[in-house]
Chains A and B, each alone.
Chain A
Amino acid sequence: MSVKSEVLSQITLVAEEQNRALAPLKDDLPLLDSGLDSLCLAVVIARLEDLLGVDPFSSSADTPFPITVGDLVNTYENAVQ
């Protein structure tokens, strides 16, 4: 599974578990409008650390906060590389 698929799949899974309506996950969708709150995103990040072995937000103060779903995917793609 690609990094992008892994990120999108975890977002979908966490939203389902917490009964949250999720907007269609397009690259330019702002995270603020996605239906996730900060706790959901924290759970996504924790799961991705288990799956991909990286947490870009803990490992670097330079990591910009992702604005869109595409930004979040890019952050992980860069971190995995």
Chain B
Amino acid sequence: MTTAYGRVPPGPDKKYDGTQELLDWMGDQFTRFGDIYKASIYGTNIYVIRDPVFAERVLRDNWRNYIKGQAIKRVAMLLGNGLMVSEGDLWKTQRRLIQPAFHRDAITSLLETVASANVRLLETWTRAADRNENVNVTVDISHLVLKTTLVAIFGDDYGDVEEHFHVLSEDAVRSLEFASKFRTLGQLVLKVANRRREQNVTSADFLGMLMAARDRDTGEGMPDRQLVNETMTLIVAGHETTASTLNWVWYLLSQHPEAEAKLSCELENPGSTALSEFGELSKFTYVRQIIDETLRLYPAGWLMTRRALADDQLGEYFVPAGTEIFISPYYIQRNPSLWEEPDRFNPDRFAQGYSADRHPLATLPFSAGPRNCIGEFFARLEMQVHLITLAKGLRLHYQNAKPPELDIGVNLRSRHNFIMTPQIKAGYQPGLTENQQSRIKHQSDVR
């Protein structure tokens, strides 16, 4: 259809009525109408897109024209007006205040915390393997990531807050009941902050950095209300997306023995297993490829929503002010015009030089542009350390004959927990140090 201002994208006459899962319904409409369509979803007229060029226009080139869409209210109910939700000057000030906490040096200092938590999980799963017991990968990883997230945020106060935040890994359903429970935890954050002030404690953890941050123009710190909002945002954003991605990593590896074998080969290489310095991580190129491919197939943030403040243009299509835009990383990253065999797990897609002409936003699991995920670097560090540590000693076998079902909420997760059987890899001897492991492997290779 064409108006006086330009073309309107094609789309279904029938509005989305909630009887079909939204993810499936959106996919059906892409098949019918192409990479952009107009639809009525939740009573609102929405442009739904899976073209990275349009995503780039909204998220990068003309990002100031777009605020977060109405679905963000679901996050706001939980987290208040934190970095994910806020707009305008508040967002700009907050982003500037928080950014230093995510500087590479600050994150790298957390490497040891992340590594030791993963070594403990390796020991737990190795004991389970010895006893021929299954492990609940979803729950164990959720606890692991929650712990590293809380330690990174609360530092020495971790012990005081830990049990209260277990609701994140124990309540599988992100319902109104969950939101109601979680929102009350803001008071706990404030309690820790107030105690630190009373006792004059300064700390290098995220909370300490947020408390110490001063606006470079005004010299003012963050109001308590905002401190709570931002801390709660870091907890949820830091936990759920990383935990969900690692959950899928183990499932995908269990279904693709050829990728698992290639990963084992990379991890067996003597001299490449020390994780004492951040620079060591870059040696594990296939680990990174596996994580990138998992993020492509199962991006935790499967849907981003925006609302146009003023008229705009997406290619030949006119976008009137007020239009809601749904950008789906899930569908961009499975768009058949961008990806060969888009539904197939193939980490080699992310090998250097494999597809140099790919659009930069053909993958956007951490969003893109000025409002991208501030914690991407930390999340990637956590995921790499986890996979390097655990997959060096173990492979996991998926126990359910049925493929997993998706749970489509704010984040994309597996509907059911992944119960898997750990198997100790040949040549791996639990209890030995990394150097001892490498030496034994090297000697057996020489023989």
In this complex, what residue of A is CB-closest to B226? A61
State the Cβ distance, B185 to closest chain A Cβ, in Å: 11
In the complex, which residues of chain A have a beta carbon less than 8 angstroms from the beta carbon of B85? Answer: 58
Interface residues of B in 177-228 (CB under 8 A from A): 177, 179-180, 183-184, 186, 225-226, 228
A67 and B19 within 8 A (CB)? no
A45 and B176 within 8 A (CB)? no
Known pairs A37-B176, A62-B225; A45 contacts B77 (CB<8 A): yes
A42 and B77 within 8 A (CB)? yes
Which of these, B70, B80, B176, B232, contacts A60 with CB under 8 Å?
B80
In this complex, what residue of B is CB-closest to A18? B18
State the Cβ distance, B437 to closest chain A Cβ, in Å: 46
Which of these, A14, A19, A37, A42, contacts B71 with CB under 8 Å?
A42
Q: Determine the main DSSP class of A at the interface with B.
A: helix
B403 within 8 A of A: no
A58 and B70 within 8 A (CB)? no
Interface centre among A41, A46, A55, A62 (most CB of B within 10 A): A46
In this complex, what residue of B is CB-closest to A36? B176
Count of inter-chain pairs, beta carbons less than 8 A: 87
A26 within 8 A of B: no
B149 within 8 A of A: no
B104 within 8 A of A: no
In the complex, which residues of chain A have a beta carbon less than 8 angstroms from the beta carbon of B70? Answer: 42-43, 46-47
Which of these, A14, A38, A46, A55, contacts B179 with CB under 8 Å?
A38
Interface centre among B42, B77, B80, B176 (most CB of A within 10 A): B176
State the Cβ distance, A61 to closest chain B Cβ, in Å: 4
B76 within 8 A of A: yes
A53 within 8 A of B: no
In the complex, which residues of chain B have a beta carbon less than 8 angstroms from the beta carbon of A59? Answer: 81
Give the docked Cα–Cα distance between A39 and B69 (Å).
13
In this complex, what residue of B is CB-closest to A45? B73
In this complex, what residue of A is CB-closest to B189? A61
In this complex, what residue of A is CB-closest to B43? A17
* B77-106 to A contact mask, C-beta < 8 Å, 1/0: 100110001100000000000000000000
Chain A: interface residue total (CB-CB under 8 A): 29
Known pairs A37-B175, A38-B179; A43 contacts B19 (CB<8 A): no
Which of these, A17, A46, A64, contacts B73 with CB under 8 Å?
A46
A20 and B18 within 8 A (CB)? yes
Give the docked Cα–Cα distance between A39 and B312 (Å).
28
B74 within 8 A of A: yes
Interface range for B: 20 to 34
In the complex, which residues of chain B have a beta carbon less than 8 angstroms from the beta carbon of A36? Answer: 176
Give the docked Cα–Cα distance between A14 and B42 (Å).
7
Give the docked Cα–Cα distance between A61 and B227 (Å).
10
Give the docked Cα–Cα distance between A36 and B176 (Å).
9
In the complex, which residues of chain B have a beta carbon less than 8 angstroms from the beta carbon of A69? Answer: none
B42 and A17 within 8 A (CB)? yes
Interface centre among B15, B19, B177, B180 (most CB of A within 10 A): B180
Interface centre among B18, B174, B229 (most CB of A within 10 A): B18
In this complex, what residue of A is CB-closest to B44? A43
A14 and B77 within 8 A (CB)? no
Give the docked Cα–Cα distance between A74 and B434 (Å).
60
B17 within 8 A of A: yes
Interface centre among A13, A39, A47 (most CB of B within 10 A): A39
Give the docked Cα–Cα distance between A36 and B175 (Å).
10
State the Cβ distance, B107 to closest chain A Cβ, in Å: 26
Give the docked Cα–Cα distance between A38 and B175 (Å).
6
Interface residues of A in 12-62 (CB under 8 A from B): 13-14, 17-20, 31-32, 36-39, 41-43, 45-47, 49, 55, 57-62
State the Cβ distance, B79 to closest chain A Cβ, in Å: 9
Give the docked Cα–Cα distance between A55 and B75 (Å).
13
Give the docked Cα–Cα distance between A58 and B71 (Å).
13
Which of these, B19, B73, B180, B229, contacts A42 with CB under 8 Å?
B73
State the Cβ distance, A32 to closest chain B Cβ, in Å: 5
Interface centre among B71, B76, B85, B229 (most CB of A within 10 A): B76
By a beta-carbon cutoff of 8 Å, the part of chain B in contact with chain A is 15, 17-19, 42-44, 70-74, 76-77, 80-81, 85-86, 174-177, 179-180, 183-184, 186, 225-226, 228-229, 232
- 15 A–B contacts from the bound complex (CB under 8 Å): A17-B15, A31-B176, A32-B176, A36-B176, A39-B74, A42-B72, A42-B74, A42-B77, A43-B43, A43-B73, A45-B76, A45-B77, A49-B73, A57-B77, A60-B225
By a beta-carbon cutoff of 8 Å, the part of chain A in contact with chain B is 13-14, 17-20, 31-32, 36-39, 41-43, 45-47, 49, 55, 57-62, 64-65, 67
Q: Which 4 A-B residue pairs are closest in the complex by CB-CB distance?
A: A46-B70, A42-B74, A42-B73, A18-B18
